[in-house]
Structure 1
Amino acid sequence: MADGFLSTILPQLAAGAAHTHALGFVYEGLDDEGVSIRVPYRADLVGDPDTGVLAGGLVTTMLDHVGGLSVWVKLEAFRPIATLDLRVDYMRAAHPGRDLLARGSCFRLTPSVAFVRAWAFEDDPFDPVAAAQAAYVVNEDRAARRAAILAAREAEQ
């Protein structure tokens, strides 16, 4: 994979959009287990003020976003994608006052669909707050398709 994608574009994709910036997403890195992001604990992200537990929608958003990042890692490039299906299983409440991490890994990639597993946790991925299984539509690479069409036309002449 190109170093520029990993060192420059992937961190921007992780935290540079308006909503990810507003939520405070931070790119944590990439390893053999997948791509990781973190959201530092903040009071405005709490879903239940009585308990201090982070909002479930935040957890879902993190899992969906890290899933998309894992697709781009598998593609080794940025291409338009869209969430086709996302199932989130909540296993327990996040611990109040703790940052939340999310890690995702694209385990299968077809020409049009990417399949992802992701999980959210505080410190231990084996003690998840939630786990997700997702599928993303991978839009075709129009530039490559145009080049192939032009090459086929030239070959016919």
Structure 2
Amino acid sequence: MTDQFLTTLLPQLASGAAHTHALGFQYEGLDADRVRLRVPYRADLVGDPETGVLAGGLVTTLLDHVGGLAVWVGLKTYQPIATLDLRVDYMRAAIPGRDLIAEARCYRLTRSIGFVRAWAFEDDPADPVAAAQSAYVISAEGDHRAGANLRAKSSRTAGDAA
């Protein structure tokens, strides 16, 4: 895995998209093969104003996104992926007023699928708000586009040298 991917691209992928930026996702880092994101608590992310508990959709989005990041860490590069399957088990309500953290690990990669486990919590991963099991399709089309771009660049370079 290149340092540039870890220090530049992965943090951008974590919070650079419009929806992840709007939700306030923050890249917390990488510990071996586990990637971590944080969502600071905000009133506009609350699902139930009476209790102050964060919305369940936010938790699902966070777990799905951190899972995708874990696949890219496993691949050691960016490549187009899509969520194939996502199961989220909600274990308890998030504590009102507290930031939510998510960690994910890609535990198996095949040529076309990445398998991930993820969990969301406030302080202790052993006391999760929710846990997820997911699968992501790894796009072979990404490889073909990259190969086509490389071939096109090589032929231009060869033509320029002639």
1:38 corresponds in structure 2 to: 38
Which residue number corresponds to residue 61 of structure 1?
61
Tell me the equivalent position of 2:134. Answer: 134
Q: Structure 2 matches for 1:67-146, cutoff 5 A?
A: 67-140=67-140, 141-143=143-145
Separation in structure 1 between the aligned mates of residue 2 and residue 32 of structure 2, nearest angstrom: 16
Distance in 1 between residues matched to 2:28 and 2:7, nearest whole Å: 12
- 1:24 paired with 2:24, answer yes
Structure 1 alignment gaps of length 5 or more: 150-157
Looking at structure 2, the residues matched to 143 and 93 of structure 1 have their Cα atoms a distance apart, in angstroms, of 43
User: Is 47-56 or 28-37 further displaced after alignment?
Assistant: 28-37
Aligned length: 148
Q: Distance in 2 between matches of 1:135 and 1:129?
A: 20
Partner AA of 1:142 in structure 2: H
Q: TM-score, normalised by structure 2?
A: 0.88
Answer whether contact 2:35 2:66 (CA < 8 A) is retained: yes
Deviation at 1:33, TM superposition (A): 5.7
Residue 143 of structure 1: how far off its partner (Å)? 4.5
Cα distance, 1:146 vs structure 2: 5.0
Partner Cα distance (2:25, 2:137) in 1: 23
CA RMSD of aligned residues (A): 1.5
Counterparts of 1:11 and 1:42, CA distance in 2: 21
Residue 142 of structure 1: how far off its partner (Å)? 1.3
Alignment TM-score, normalising by the size of structure 1 = 0.91
Structure 2: gaps (5+ residues): 152-162
Q: Secondary structure at the match of 2:118?
A: strand
Inter-partner Cα distance in structure 1 for 2:111 and 2:82: 14
Query: 1: distance between equivalents of 2:66 and 2:7?
Result: 16
Give the % identical residues.
74
Secondary structure at the aligned position of 2:94 is classed as coil
What is the alpha-carbon distance in structure 2 between the residues aligned to residue 139 and residue 123 of structure 1?
A: 35
1:89 is paired with a residue whose SS is: strand
Does residue 49 of structure 1 match 2:49?
yes
Secondary structure of 1:12's counterpart equals: helix
**1: CA distance between counterparts of 2:97 and 2:138?**
37
Of the structure 1 ranges 33-42 and 43-52, higher mean CA displacement relative to structure 2 is found in: 33-42
Cα distance change, pair 33–4 in 1 and its aligned pair in 2 (3 A) = closer
